Amino acid sequence: MSEEYLALIPAAGVGSRAQLKLAKQFTEIGSKTIIEYALDPFLADENCKKICVVTQEDNDVWTSLPISGHEKIVSCIGGETRMQSVLKGLENLMETEEKGSLVAIHDAARPCLLNSDLKKLIDFAADEMKDEGQGVFLAHQPPESVNLGDKNKVTKSLDRSKVWLSATPQVFFLEDILKAVENAKDTDKFFSDEVGAAFSFYKSNITPILSDRMNIKVTKKEDLVLVEQYLKLSGRL
């Protein structure tokens, strides 16, 4: 079942771990920046009604990209952390959109999302999400064994079939995820993604959907090599 939805792309980070001249989302691979590749599946999807891109103030790199003026895209200024930027984007969308709208939150530095994975995710959300606090997200399962440790000692071995490595997009009802992120801010809780914030607040049903393993996030400089290879293999470069 197809349903209109919104997208939110937090792109205000500086990406210090990647040690690049520009923030990683504005680094070029071929003739396009990483954020442009990240936006492509949403721009191509006729069911994506609006995309809110959250950037730093006076971001000349973003405004210089022709894609920043696309009719589907609105921009707003983010905060100092990812969570603060997501909150700003959600508040922006709430000003004009229905509170029960689906919103897909996707990393600006995750450029290899497949159109088919996005469709699978949105179709599941439209068909299965009925109750407050529900969500669905793309994820991977680790191919290696997973152990927890304290300093240099293993403290517990986990069943990797029960481990899900969060990716994006992550889909929620607009009002629900706004409340969860607001609560995290008000209680000074830190979460690295919206699944963590939503589960902490609602303790409800959040479903992982297995995605293509190449839906990776650029975190370090060496990730650019993998991304470039995959974009070539998929015919996008």
d(CA 37, CA 116): 15
Nearest to 99 by CA among 202, 175, 3, 182: 175
Q: Domain 5-233 belongs to what topology?
A: Spore Coat Polysaccharide Biosynthesis Protein SpsA; Chain A (3.90.550)
Q: Show Cβ contacts of residue 102 under 8 Å, excluding neighbours closer than 6 positions.
A: 3, 4, 5, 6, 122, 125, 126, 129, 171, 172, 173, 174
Specify the pLDDT at position 112: 97
Q: What angle do CA 150, 155, 157 make, to 5 degrees?
A: 130
- Cβ count near 96 (within 10 Å): 10
Q: What is the mean pLDDT of residues 88-97?
A: 98
* Model pLDDT for residues 136-168, shown as the tens digit of each residue: 999 999 889 999 998 789 999 999 999 999 999
d(CA 43, CA 7): 10
Radius of gyration of the CA atoms of the chain, in A: 17
Specify the pLDDT at position 18: 47
Mean pLDDT of the chain: 93
* Model pLDDT for residues 20-77, shown as the tens digit of each residue: 667 899 999 999 999 999 999 999 999 999 999 999 988 899 999 999 999 999 999 9
In the chain, domain spans: 5-233
Q: What is the mean pLDDT of residues 195-215?
A: 95
Instruction: Tell me what percent of the residues of the chain surpass a pLDDT of 90.
Output: 85
Measure CA of the first residue to CA of the last residue in the chain; give whole Å.
31
Specify the pLDDT at position 118: 97
* Model pLDDT for residues 5-25, shown as the tens digit of each residue: 999 999 997 655 544 667 899
d(CA 38, CA 112): 7
Amino acid, res. 206: I
DSSP state of 97: S
Amino acid, res. 76: C
Q: What is the mean pLDDT of residues 120-147?
A: 95
- Concatenated DSSP letters for 139-184? EE--SS-EEEEETTEEEEEE-GGG--EEEEEEEEEHHHHHHHHHHH
Structure tokens at 2: 């197809």
On the question of pLDDT at 119 being above 80, the answer is: yes
Could you tell me if 125 and 2 are in contact, meaning their C-beta atoms sit under 8 angstroms apart?
A: no
Specify the pLDDT at position 17: 53
pLDDT band at 2 (very low <50, low <70, confident <90, very high): low
CA 68 to chain CA mean position, Å: 18
Specify the pLDDT at position 13: 76
On the question of pLDDT at 122 being above 90, the answer is: yes
